[in-house]
Amino acid sequence: MEAMQVDLRGQTALVTGAGRGIGRAIASALAAAGARVFLAARTTAQLESVAREIRQNGGTAVPVPTDLSNEEDIQSLFQTIRDQAGGLDILVNNAGVGVFGSLAEFCSSDFDRLIQVNTKAVFLCCQQALHLMIPLKKGYIINISSVVGFKGYPNQAAYTASKHAVMGLTKSLAVEAQECGIRVSAVLPGGVDTGMAAEARPDLDPKILLQPEDIAHTVLYLLSLSDRAAVDQIYIRRRGSQPF
């Protein structure tokens, strides 16, 4: 994909959930804009595929297989970034899982998994990123939330709770981190043509959904802004859906 007019040469980025879908599109867009991109996800083959595609297009990518439900794996991921790059300019918390079903019959272990990956991993990655960004007094953290970060849908209560938590974390961290020159934003996509959307909303025709590249362009837009601008959140919905 063609990058927007944003120059990220000399910057280091980390994208979680980079093996497919939205994460893959974001990683490719950041690399096309010149960033050195660390790719984190569980599936090694998917990461290697993304890295290979980025390199073929002239970019720089470092795949780091990571189980984001494991705190030690997250610590190891950031140690790799320290060792190989020395710092971090951009963190995109995109990794997430979706488990859906009625609350009355929802399995508590599935709820635990949603919180572990969708919420706790975001908390831990933000924490590790701050350790790298605070000494430099700069950086940008972008959390990929969801329309369910402020809306509710049937059979998505547990997933919605995890994304509401991401929004609470993002709002507080945005205030806390700005004193250190670090910006924090959330992107809240509506329906995007991914496997998770197909599972959550099988009633929707994939042809009317957003594409992962739409979210990648939104991330690039945030990164294109001057240091004078701070954006708290962007809700990007598919055309034809109900606003707010």
Strand order of the sheet with strand 182-189?
A: 60-65, 36-41, 12-16, 90-93, 139-144, 182-189, 233-236
DSSP3 helix / strand / coil % (the chain, rounded to 5): 50, 15, 35
What gap in Å lies between CA 8 and CA 31, rounded to an integer? 8
What gap in Å lies between CA 13 and CA 93, rounded to an integer? 11
Which structure tokens are listed for 165?
């938590």
Catalytic residue among 153, 159, 221, 235: 159
159 assigned to active site: yes
Q: Active-site residue numbers?
A: 159
